Amino acid sequence: MNYPSITKETTEQAYKQAQARYSDFDIDTESILAKLATIPISMHCWQGDDVGGFESPDTALSGGIMATGNHPGKAHTPEELRTDIEMAMSLIPGAHRLNLHALYREDGGKFVDRDAIDASHFSSWIDWAKEKKIGIDFNPSFFSHPKAASGMTLSSPDDGIRNFWIEHGKRSREIAAAFAEALNEPVVNSFWIPDGTKDLTVDRWDARKRLTESYDEIFAKEFDPRVKEAVECKLFGIGSEEFVVGSHEFYMGYAITRNKMLCLDMGHFHPTETIHDKLSAMLNFIPEVLIHVSRPIRWDSDHVVILNDNLLDLAREIVRGDAFDRVNIATDFFDASICRIGAWVIGLRATQQALLQAMLEPTDLLKQLERENRGAEKLALMESFKTLPMGAVWDQFCLQQNTPVGAAWLNDMTKYENNVLAKR
Ligand code: RNT
Ligand code: ZN
């Protein structure tokens, strides 16, 4: 199949018409596109290899998360993964960041455990990031490891296990600081642990007390302020259905009292609970949040992100609160059943489209109608904006950013599948 490519002329003509429609409402599409180009999304490295990482001996994915599917072509080496990331990023308009997990460290053939890693194990990533001018964010990895097999890490009652993971947490801060230093820019370091239990749990109290103490120990040392630290809450996981130590309330309290960012993952709440409503609440009490853009289906299934209502609601809240400088956006999904390059591009493009759609809204007018109790006009306008030609503005963005317009990026993807991925 050859997917149609759209000429510059066609794209620009459609854009001119769209521009006029939006300007009827004093919406300046040009400045919106300029702004969209400055909003980085931290693309997660782990879509490229199903959250595998490069440790040896290789351990199976654990911690209550799961990548299902066995589509061919997954990256097996850091070099392959970096090439895949470059390929995906070439099809995504704008300049983005890469979100790296500690699992992706390189040890040059000599095993180093997670309580012994340091920035030297990420030197290839640092060199690559510098060369490609890509910002990096980081995450300690508290899963897929024999010492996480009990389901408990930082809240484990076993001192040996807990101390091992505390050391890992401390080292992740050093590594994040090294990235900040080398790239001379802020780096997000985000903590998620899988700790929880499968069935009825009598002692929740001690586990949460231990978790608080572990984090306090990890965060005791003052660090380079360019390292921005986040803690990620969760409702349940596979094997931790009954009790998750790091629940929303736990981390909300922790983030506020310890001045950390709260990480809100779109898949980490009750199936009907969405996260957009939480921004205007949480950002009263902490300076910044981190979002994990994901798509749960019935559970925290981490499906590829698409342009759905949840994503649009989230984007609208960021825009309506003028909160771009306080909301860090990162993707977090892993689908092993489709081409992994495609998964990245679909998810990142959808996230940007949601932001664009939200920025194309006449927010001030809608707020005014709301204040004046003119609800029908507000609702009607919101409805009519759904069908304004956002797609033409998006296409113009892709054109400006030198990425394929429309579905034409699929031609690049399938070529890469045939020439590179199929040979792995
Ligand atoms: C797990 C969390 C966490 C992970 C990554 C790999 O439920 O969402 O963010 O997905 O750290
Ligand atoms: Zn997440």
In contact, 99 and 42? CB cutoff 8 Å:
yes
Q: Pick from 188, 177, 146: which is nearest to 164 by CA?
A: 146
How many CB atoms are closer than 10 A to CB 314?
26
The DSSP secondary structure of 230-279, one letter per residue, reads EEE--S-BTTBSSEESS-HHHHHHHHHHHT-EEEEETTSS-TT--SHHHH
In contact, 125 and 136? CB cutoff 8 Å:
yes
| pLDDT the model gives residue 344 | 98
Which of 65, 238, 300 has most ligand 1 atoms within 8 Å of CB, for mutation? Answer: 65
- 320 forms bridges with which residues in the sheet? none
Q: Residue 329, Cα to own-chain centre: how many angstroms? A: 6
CA distance 195 to 156: 8
In contact, 154 and 214? CB cutoff 8 Å:
yes
Q: CB within 8 A of 159, min separation 6: which ones?
A: none
Between the CA of 328 and the centroid of ligand 2 the distance, in Å, is: 13
The 10s digit of each residue's pLDDT in 220-234 is 999 889 999 999 999
CA distance 192 to 171: 15
Which of 99, 265, 301 has most ligand 1 atoms within 8 Å of CB, for mutation? Answer: 265
Is 232 among the residues known to form the active site? yes
The 10s digit of each residue's pLDDT in 130-180 is 999 999 999 999 999 999 999 999 999 999 999 999 999 999 999 999 999
* 3-state secondary structure at position 287: coil
Greatest CA separation for the chain: 67
Please report, for residues 68, 235, 239, 269, the alpha-carbon distance to residue 301 in angstroms, rounded to integers and kept in the order given: 9, 13, 14, 12
141 lines ligand 1 (CB under 6 A): no
In contact, 136 and 98? CB cutoff 8 Å:
yes
Is 49 among the residues known to form the active site? no
pTM above 0.95, yes or no: yes
What b/e string do you get for 340-358 counting C-beta neighbours within 10 Å, with b at 16 or more?
Answer: bbbbbbbbbbbbbbbbbbb
Mean pLDDT of the chain: 97
Is 145 among the residues known to form the active site? no
| pLDDT the model gives residue 57 | 82
Specify the ligand 1 atom closest to the Cα of 267. 8
Residue nearest to atom 6 of ligand 1 (CA): 51
| pLDDT the model gives residue 236 | 96
Specify the ligand 1 atom closest to the Cα of 141. 11
50 lines ligand 1 (CB under 6 A): no
Q: Which CATH class is domain 39-359?
A: alpha beta
Q: Is 84 left (phi over 0), alpha (psi -120 to 50) or beta?
A: alpha
Q: Pick from 206, 203, 207: which is nearest to 195 by CA?
A: 207
Q: Which residue has the tokens 């979002």?
A: 291
Specify the ligand 1 atom closest to the Cα of 263. 9
CA dihedral sign, ordered 405, 334, 155, 224: negative
Specify the ligand 1 atom closest to the Cα of 237. 7
CA distance 229 to 234: 17
215 lines ligand 1 (CB under 6 A): no
Q: CB within 8 A of 355, min separation 6: which ones?
A: 36, 39, 315, 318, 319
Is 394 among the residues known to form the active site? no
Residues within 5 Å of ion ligand 2, judged at the Cβ atom: 265, 292, 332
| pLDDT the model gives residue 223 | 84
Is 292 among the residues known to form the active site? yes
For residue 304, is pLDDT > 90?
A: yes
Candidate list 228, 268, 276, 378, residue with the active-site label: 268
Is 265 among the residues known to form the active site? yes
Between the CA of 264 and the centroid of ligand 2 the distance, in Å, is: 8
| pLDDT the model gives residue 186 | 97
Specify the ligand 1 atom closest to the Cα of 46. 6
234 lines ligand 1 (CB under 6 A): yes
* 3-state secondary structure at position 130: helix
Is 234 among the residues known to form the active site? yes
- 265 forms bridges with which residues in the sheet? 292
Between the CA of 265 and the centroid of ligand 2 the distance, in Å, is: 5
Candidate list 234, 260, 276, 378, residue with the active-site label: 234
Helix (H), strand (E), coil (C) string for 106-129: CCCCCCCCCCCCCHHHHHHHHHHH
In contact, 195 and 244? CB cutoff 8 Å:
yes
142 lines ligand 1 (CB under 6 A): no
The 10s digit of each residue's pLDDT in 313-362 is 999 999 999 999 999 999 999 999 999 999 999 999 999 999 999 999 99
For residue 109, is pLDDT > 90?
A: no
For residue 277, is pLDDT > 90?
A: yes
CA distance 171 to 217: 12
| pLDDT the model gives residue 230 | 98
For residue 98, is pLDDT > 90?
A: yes
Q: Pick from 35, 20, 85, 3: which is nearest to 397 by CA?
A: 35
Residue nearest to atom 3 of ligand 1 (CA): 192
265 lines ligand 1 (CB under 6 A): yes
Domain spans, the chain: 1-27+361-424, 39-359
